[in-house]
């Protein structure tokens, strides 16, 4: 591999000749060979949005000339188009402030911009990082990345699944089946009612997550190193937030208290709580569906789901509820990520939190996994669900809990006697009721109508 010399305040270092990054990025690359987890591209793109917005704000405030602004904007657009992805190689496991990733952006923008200009017009600190510190730039990018991925990926995915359940709900109206509590038979329920619970879980989760975004819309930019705004001109923070809003098409504002914005990460904890709540409901939904589809002959078998791939390397013809399994594994990961997010957010010492890379890595992984798995689950499982009407009807009329409708007429204790006799002798409830002399067959038929119990 060929190298070139790059220089920073610590001296010279060899950098791969084809890399746009500079000395500080290379030092981090050499010093933190830890794991395989790289800084998420969603965060890189959010930083590029910030650098673009900062260049515009600095230009409008008379601190940056037009040519340098144009170069910064041009390179940021290349980054946002995904053309420079390979030039952001740094590990998540680096400085807790994200300084090295901020400098990675600054160096790539400066070096690439200088190449485009045919001369050294841009300095990574003096121009690209103008009016900023890593301490306000990195948390700003965290908030921007979180809001954008939730709005552009997760919320649409939730909406798609909720809409699919709404269609299934409508298709299945009129189907009455056995309800279940404690994994035991319970009173009847309409299948559409059971589906409606899944739909409302998603709609409620979506509302919770949307409501959590307000704190993430407040940006730390303008606080610079410790929240005082040293080296940032008056109006920079507001202009930057305004420009980020314009570039992203969603609202961001300058955080009113920069000391809070730099050291507290409670907005991310709160928002991830919404992701965790969604994961909990998705776990329940996926488990319900795989239980209802269990079988094909020795399980509940009340619904069928798409057979997407062979399920066993040894048992011919076996098909498994793999989409449900994938979704439940994602739910487990999100719940685990919530612990990491909360613990990382608690490490705000004095004027700065120094666990930011691991916090945003886990947050964005949760959003990414939830978005992808929900889309997959919707299209490869839920869209193909079919009710097994015969199985549902058989289970319904075999349920002992239909006896609940008799309680108002013969009393709770007598109704319990009917159920126990029917279970003990493996006979229908009707026969047990007649045998005990509580009701005639005609009266039993009049009272036990599952369609009137839902």
Residue 123 bears catalytic tag: no
Active-site hit among 91, 134, 312, 376:
312
Q: From residue 220, give the alpha-carbon distance in Å to each of 35, 337, 345, 413.
A: 29, 24, 15, 66
Are the CB atoms for 176 and 191 separated by under 8 Å?
Answer: yes
Give which of 349, 345, 340, 353 is closest to 262, Cα–Cα: 353
Whether the Cβ atoms of residue 225 and residue 133 lie closer than 8 Å to each other: yes
Question: Which one, of 199, 216, 110, lies nearest residue 159 by Cα?
Answer: 199
How many CA atoms, within 13 angstroms, populate the side-chain half-sphere of residue 331?
19
CA distance 258 to 268: 16
**Which residue in the block uniquely carries the two structure tokens 């955080």?**
255
Verify whether residue 182 is a known catalytic residue: yes
Question: CA distances (Å), 370 to each of 154, 211, 275, 307, 328, in order?
Answer: 7, 18, 8, 22, 10
SS3 80: helix
**Per the structure block, which two tokens stand in for 225?**
């190193």
Q: What is the rounded CA–CA span in Å between residue 154 and residue 146?
A: 10
Angle at 266 between CA 374 and CA 159, to 5 degrees: 20
Catalytic residue positions?
182, 312
């Amino acid at each position: 591999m060929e190298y070139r010399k790059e220089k920073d305040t610590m001296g010279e270092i060899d950098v791969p000749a084809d890399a746009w990054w500079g000395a500080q990025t290379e030092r981090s690359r050499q010093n933190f060979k830890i794991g395989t987890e790289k800084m998420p591209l969603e965060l890189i793109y959010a930083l590029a949005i910030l650098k673009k917005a900062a260049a515009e704000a600095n230009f409008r405030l008379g601190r940056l000339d037009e040519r340098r602004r144009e170069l910064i904007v041009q390179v940021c657009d290349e980054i946002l188009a995904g053309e420079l992805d390979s030039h952001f190689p740094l590990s998540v496991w680096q400085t807790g402030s994200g300084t090295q990733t901020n400098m990675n952006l600054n160096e790539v923008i400066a070096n690439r911009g200088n190449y485009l200009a045919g001369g050294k017009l841009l300095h990574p600190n003096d121009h690209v990082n103008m009016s900023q510190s890593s301490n306000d730039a990195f948390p700003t990018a965290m908030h921007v990345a979180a809001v954008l991925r939730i709005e552009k990926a997760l919320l649409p995915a939730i909406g798609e699944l909720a809409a699919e359940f709404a269609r299934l709900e409508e298709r299945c109206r009129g189907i009455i089946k056995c309800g279940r509590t404690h994994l035991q038979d319970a009173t009847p329920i309409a299948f559409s009612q059971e589906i409606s619970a899944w739909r409302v879980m998603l709609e409620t989760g979506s509302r919770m997550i949307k409501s959590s975004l307000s704190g993430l819309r407040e940006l730390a930019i303008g606080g610079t190193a410790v929240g005082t705004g040293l080296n940032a001109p008056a109006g920079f923070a507001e202009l930057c937030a305004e420009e980020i809003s314009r570039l992203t098409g969603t609202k961001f504002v300058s955080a009113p208290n920069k000391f809070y914005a730099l050291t507290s990460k409670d907005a991310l904890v709160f928002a991830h709580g919404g992701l965790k709540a969604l994961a909990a409901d998705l776990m329940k939904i996926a488990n319900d569906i795989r239980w209802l589809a269990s079988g094909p002959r020795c399980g509940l078998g009340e619904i069928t789901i798409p057979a997407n791939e062979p399920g066993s390397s040894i048992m011919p013809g076996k098909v498994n509820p793999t989409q449900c399994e994938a979704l439940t594994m994602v739910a487990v990961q999100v719940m685990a990520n919530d612990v990491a997010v909360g613990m990382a957010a608690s490490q705000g010492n004095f004027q700065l939190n120094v666990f930011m890379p691991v916090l945003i890595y886990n947050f964005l992984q949760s959003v990414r996994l939830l978005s992808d798995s929900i889309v997959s689950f919707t299209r490869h499982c839920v869209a193909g669900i079919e009710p097994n009407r015969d199985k549902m009807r058989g289970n319904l009329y075999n349920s002992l809990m239909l006896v609940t409708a008799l309680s108002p007429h013969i009393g709770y204790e007598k109704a319990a006697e009917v159920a126990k006799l029917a279970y003990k002798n493996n006979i229908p409830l009707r026969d047990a009721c007649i045998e005990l002399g509580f009701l005639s067959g005609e009266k039993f038929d009049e009272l036990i109508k599952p369609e009137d119990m839902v």
